[in-house]
A and B are shown apart, each in its own frame.
Chain A
Amino acid sequence: MGEIRLMKGNEALAEALIRVGCDGYFGYPITPQSEVIEYLSKEATNRTGMVVLQAESEVSSINMLYGAAGTGRRVVTTSSSPGISLMQEGISYIAGAELPCLVVNVMRGGPGLGTIQPSQSDYFQATKGGGHGDYHLIVLTPYNVQEMVDFVKLGFELSEKYRVPAMVLADGAMGQMMEKVELFDQIPRRTEFPEWATTGKPHDKERRIVTSLFIEPEVMEQVNLRLQAKYRQIEAEETRFQTMNLEDAEYVFTGFGLGSRIAMKAMELAREKGYKVGLIRPQTVYPFPYAIYRETAPKIKGILDIEMNSGQMVEDVRLAVGDKTRVEFYGRMGGMIADPESVLKHFEKVYLGVE
Chain B
Amino acid sequence: MSNLVEVPVNPEVVQDQFVVYKKPKTLTDKPLHYCPGCAHGVVHKLLMEVVDEMDIQDKIIGVAPVGCSVFAYDYMNIDMQEAAHGRACAVGTAIKRMMPDKFVFTYQGDGDLAAIGIAETIHAANRGENMLVVFINNAVYGMTSGQMAPTTLPDMVTTTTPFGRDVKTMGYPLRMSELLAQLPATYYITRQSVHNAVSVRKAKKALRQALEYQKEGKGFCMVEFVGNCPSNWRMTPLESQKFVEEKMTQYYVVGDVKVPGGK
- Whether A and B touch directly in their complex, counting CB atoms under 8 A apart, is answered as yes
Give the residue name and chain of the B residue nearest to A37 (CB). Answer: B160
Q: Are B141 and A29 in touch, CB under 8 angstroms?
A: yes
B104-130 residues with Cβ-Cβ distance < 8 A to A are 115-116, 118
Known A37-B160, A113-B84; judge A31-B144 contact (CB<8 A): yes
Q: Are A54 and B170 in touch, CB under 8 angstroms?
A: yes
Interface size on B, residues (CB 8 A): 22
B77-93 residues with Cβ-Cβ distance < 8 A to A are 82, 84-86
Q: A233 interface residue, CB < 8 Å from B?
A: no
Q: A26 interface residue, CB < 8 Å from B?
A: no
Q: Are A38 and B160 in touch, CB under 8 angstroms?
A: yes
Q: Are B85 and A82 in touch, CB under 8 angstroms?
A: yes
Residues of B contacting A38 in the complex (Cβ-Cβ under 8 angstroms): 147, 159-160, 162
Q: Are A113 and B70 in touch, CB under 8 angstroms?
A: yes
B134-158 residues with Cβ-Cβ distance < 8 A to A are 141, 143-145, 147-148, 150
**A interface residue count range (under 10 / 10 to 19 / 20 to 34 / 35 or more):** 10 to 19
Q: A56 interface residue, CB < 8 Å from B?
A: yes
Q: Are A56 and B159 in touch, CB under 8 angstroms?
A: no
Q: Are A42 and B162 in touch, CB under 8 angstroms?
A: yes
Quote the shortest CB–CB distance from B179 to chain A (angstroms). 14
Q: B63 interface residue, CB < 8 Å from A?
A: no
Quote the shortest CB–CB distance from A58 to chain B (angstroms). 8
Residues of B contacting A37 in the complex (Cβ-Cβ under 8 angstroms): 147, 160
Q: B249 interface residue, CB < 8 Å from A?
A: no
Known A41-B160, A41-B161, A113-B66; judge A54-B148 contact (CB<8 A): yes
Quote the shortest CB–CB distance from A10 to chain B (angstroms). 13
Q: A245 interface residue, CB < 8 Å from B?
A: no
Bound-state Cα–Cα, A56 to B66, Å: 14
Contact with B84, one of A41, A56, A82 (Cβ below 8 angstroms): A82
Residues of A contacting B170 in the complex (Cβ-Cβ under 8 angstroms): 54
Contact with B116, one of A41, A42, A56, A113 (Cβ below 8 angstroms): A56
Q: Are A57 and B144 in touch, CB under 8 angstroms?
A: no
Q: A320 interface residue, CB < 8 Å from B?
A: no
Q: A28 interface residue, CB < 8 Å from B?
A: yes
Of the candidates B70, B162, B170, the one having the most CB atoms from chain A within 10 angstroms of its own CB is B162
Q: Are A30 and B144 in touch, CB under 8 angstroms?
A: yes
Quote the shortest CB–CB distance from B173 to chain A (angstroms). 13
Residues of A contacting B169 in the complex (Cβ-Cβ under 8 angstroms): 53
Known A54-B160, A56-B118, A57-B115; judge A34-B147 contact (CB<8 A): yes
Residues of A contacting B85 in the complex (Cβ-Cβ under 8 angstroms): 82, 113
Bound-state Cα–Cα, A82 to B116, Å: 13
Quote the shortest CB–CB distance from A39 to chain B (angstroms). 10
Interface string of B59-72 (1 = CB under 8 A from A): 00000001000100
Quote the shortest CB–CB distance from A108 to chain B (angstroms). 12
Q: Are A29 and B160 in touch, CB under 8 angstroms?
A: yes
Q: Are A54 and B66 in touch, CB under 8 angstroms?
A: no
Q: Are A56 and B115 in touch, CB under 8 angstroms?
A: yes
Bound-state Cα–Cα, A43 to B244, Å: 30
A60-105 residues with Cβ-Cβ distance < 8 A to B are 82
Q: A38-B160, A41-B162, A57-B116 are in contact. List 6 more A-B contacts (CB 8 A).
A: A29-B147, A29-B160, A30-B144, A54-B148, A57-B115, A113-B70
Give 6 CB contacts A-B under 8 Å: A30-B144, A34-B159, A37-B160, A41-B162, A56-B118, A57-B115
Residues of A within 8 A of B (CB): 28-31, 34, 37-38, 41-42, 53-54, 56-59, 82, 112-113
Nearest 7 interchain pairs by C-beta: A57-B116, A56-B115, A29-B147, A29-B144, A41-B160, A38-B159, A42-B162
